[in-house]
Structure 1
C-alpha cells in the first residue's frame, strides 16, 4: 500500500474539541497529499508539496468553516496500483475530502476516475497529461499548475521560431511522456518544423547512452526531453559527456528550478524553459519563497507553489460555501478568480483547467547570476489563453452532456 504518515496541523489541535460546522463532513476537512516521496519526482514535488499545503493551512488559520484541517500524505512509489489503492483507502476509510498533487500521469488518471466515483475533489499539481482536462476530464478534477499542451506551446513554438526546426524526442515511456511528445510534436509541425524521430526510455533509468546516440545520429537541431525530474537531469548530464552540445541543443520540456540548481548554472546556461511560476517573478512570489525556504531549506518549484495555491483556493471555497461537499465547493472554485502569489487573474474553466499567464525563461550565464538560486531571466510572457489548449479542442466528454 506504500508508506504513509498522518500529520495533524498544530493549528487544528486548538479547535479539535470545538463544535465544527454541521456542513463539514466528519467535523474535519481532510487533505491527502499523494506524491512521490522517494524517487525521481520527490525533489520537485514530494516533501515540498506537503510543506506547501501546510503553509496554505497556516494562512487559513488552521481551520475552515469552524472545522479543523488535517493532512495525510503518502508515497505512491510511481506505481498506479499503489496510488489507486491509497486513494480508495483514503476515500473509503480515512474520509479524505480532497487528494492533492499526484505527480506521474498514469496514477493521476486513475485517481481522477476514483475521485469522480467517490464524488470528492482532486487538486492536480504534479501531473501534466493534458488528457486530464481532455479525453479523461472529470467534473471533480482541477488541473492547477501545468500540462503537456502548455509546456509544448511555450517552448516548442519559441524554439522553432528561432530556427531550431528539426526535432528528435527522448520520451519517458509512460502516460505523461507520451502526451508531452504528442503535444510538442504537433506544435513543431504546425509551425513548420520537422520531427526526425523519437525513442522511448524506461522511467527512472540510469543509462541513457543508447537513446542519446540515436538522437545524436539523427542530426536534429533539438533533442527534446519529454521527461521530468531525475530522468531529465540524467539525460542532460550524460549528453554533455557525449559532446552533444553545442552542436545540438536540448529542450527540457518540463524542467524546474531545482533541476537547474542540481545541475549547476554552467550546465544549464542558455537553456529555454517554460514555467507557469518562478520563485523570483515578483514581490509576492519572493515573500512566499522566503517562507518556504525557511521551512524546507530550498526554493519551491512550480508544482509546489501550485499545491499551495490550489489548497488555499479550495479552503477559501469551503469558507464561502460553509461546507466541504464536492459540488458546491468546486462550483465556487470555478466562479472565483485566482489572485494570489501564484497567479493573477487566473480562472478555472468548466473542463477543470486553471488558466493563467505563463513565461518563457532562459537560464542565465554564470557571470550574470547573483546567487545560487538566481537562475533564470524572463524572455516573454505568454497569456493563458495562448498557453493552454482551447476548451473546444480538448474533447472533454462530460461537457458534451
Structure 2
C-alpha cells in the first residue's frame, strides 16, 4: 500500500505529499533534487467544487500512476489555497519557485491569478499549467513560452455553446457577468459569436465575484426582454444565478438561460429538475467512453464524486508533464516544454490533443444537454452528448490570438 508523508508549511498554508511506498526507489540526495509540483487551487471559496481538493487528488493519482519517481528523482507535490486573491497566489508562487524548489505549478483558479503567476514563471523560467482559469488572453496577447493552457477557454466555450444557441433562434442576449478578467472575457468572446451569427446584445450587468444575491442583476436581465440571459460566471456564482432565476420565474416567463462555463458539479448541485435542458460545453465527461468511465470510477472511489473537467485535466496535464521530463532527460523548463509541444496528448482526457506554440492545448470539446430527471439512470448520469466539436473548430485559430510568440 502506498503511504503519503505529510508536512505542513505554515507560511503558504501548504501540504507536501511524497510517495514513499516500498516499490519506489529512494532518490539520491544533494544534486538530485526532487521533481516538485505545486497545486495552487481554490480550497475554500466559489471554485472549490470544480477544482479544490479534487484537483489535488487528481495530481496525486497521476504521480502514483507514473510510479512516484522520474530520472532517479522522487516526485513531490505541494499544495496551497490561493484564496482567489492574485497577491496571495503570487506570494505563494514566489516562495515555491525561489525557496521551495517547485518546478511546475498547476491549476490556478482565476484568470487574474493565472496571469499574475504566469509573469512570475516567465521571469523564473519555470512551468505553469493552467487547468482552471479560462481567459483566452492566457494564450493571446499575454501568452508565455512557459505556460500551457489545458482544459478550456472563453473563446472555445463561446463558440461551442453561443453559436449553437443563436442558430436555434436565441438571437438577443443580456449578460450577467462576473466582474473580473474571466467574466469580461466570457462576455466579450460570446458577444462576438452572437453578433457574428446575426444576433444582438442588449446589455449586461456586472456582479462581484462570490455574490450571494443576484436579484438586481436578474431584474435587469428580465427587463431587457432578451431571449437569452448569458451567465458569464462560474462555480457557485452560476449555481446561485440559476437558482434565483427560477425563483423569479424567468424561464417560466419565456426567457432562457445560457451557462457559458458550467461543470458537472454545478449540475449535480442544482439537480436535474432545475438544470434540465441547459446546453453546456465541457472538455471532459466521465460517461463519454470506456477510458473516461474507468478514470471516473477510480476518481469516485477516492473522492465519492465524479471528476469535473478541471480535475480530469489536472491528471492529464501532470502525466504529460512527467512523461516529458522523462523523455527529455531533464527537468529544465525549456526542454520539457519543447517535449510537451512535440508529443501528442492521448489519454483519458483526450485522444487528439496537441500543445501549440502559444500554449493552447487544442482538443475536441463536447456540446452537452442536461438530462431530464426521467432520463437519468443514476446520481451522476447528467448529460446527453449532442456533439463532439473538433479542436480546430472549437479553439481560436493560432493566427488570430495576437500571441507575440507566434511569428
| 1:193-272 paired onto structure 2 within 5 Å | 193-246=199-252, 247-272=254-279
C-alpha distance in 1, partners of 2:46/2:28? 42
Number of equivalent positions: 396
TM-score, scaled to structure 1: 0.97
Asked if structure 2 preserves the Cα contact closer than 8 Å seen for 1:129 and 1:176, the reply is yes
Give SS of 1:350's match.
coil
Give SS of 2:185's match.
helix
**Where in structure 2 are there 5+ consecutive unaligned residues?**
1-10
Match of residue 70 from structure 2:
64
C-alpha distance in 1, partners of 2:217/2:245? 10
Give SS of 2:54's match.
helix
Match of residue 4 from structure 1:
14
User: Which one has more relative contact order, counting CA pairs under 8 Å at least 6 apart?
Assistant: 1
C-alpha distance in 2, partners of 1:385/1:11? 42
TM-score, scaled to structure 2: 0.95
Query: Match for 1:320 among 299, 319, 327?
Result: 327
RMSD: 1.3
Kindly provide the CA deviation profile for residues 161-203 of structure 1, in whole angstroms up to 9, marking residues without a partner as x: 0001110000000110011110000000001010000010000
Counterpart check, 1:19 vs 2:28:
yes
Asked if structure 2 preserves the Cα contact closer than 8 Å seen for 1:11 and 1:58, the reply is no
Kindly provide the CA deviation profile for residues 290-337 of structure 1, in whole angstroms up to 9, marking residues without a partner as x: 110111110000000011000000000011011110011000000100
Kindly provide the CA deviation profile for residues 335-376 of structure 1, in whole angstroms up to 9, marking residues without a partner as x: 100000000121000101000111100001101100110000
Query: Match for 2:355 among 333, 342, 348?
Result: 348
C-alpha distance in 1, partners of 2:228/2:324? 44
Asked if structure 1 preserves the Cα contact closer than 8 Å seen for 2:195 and 2:201, the reply is yes
Query: Match for 1:118 among 106, 124, 127?
Result: 124
The Cα of 1:398 is off from its aligned counterpart by 2.5
The Cα of 1:10 is off from its aligned counterpart by 3.4
Asked if structure 1 preserves the Cα contact closer than 8 Å seen for 2:129 and 2:147, the reply is yes
Asked if structure 1 preserves the Cα contact closer than 8 Å seen for 2:32 and 2:73, the reply is no
The Cα of 1:15 is off from its aligned counterpart by 2.9
Match of residue 308 from structure 1:
315
Counterpart check, 1:138 vs 2:147:
no
Kindly provide the CA deviation profile for residues 53-108 of structure 1, in whole angstroms up to 9, marking residues without a partner as x: 00101110111121110000000100010000000000000010000010110000
Give SS of 2:258's match.
strand
Q: Aligned pair in 2 of structure 1 residues 12, 37: CA closer, same or farther (>3 Å)?
A: farther
Asked if structure 2 preserves the Cα contact closer than 8 Å seen for 1:2 and 1:77, the reply is no
Query: Match for 2:103 among 94, 97, 114?
Result: 97
Match of residue 366 from structure 1:
373
C-alpha distance in 1, partners of 2:284/2:316? 11
Query: Match for 1:44 among 39, 47, 50?
Result: 50
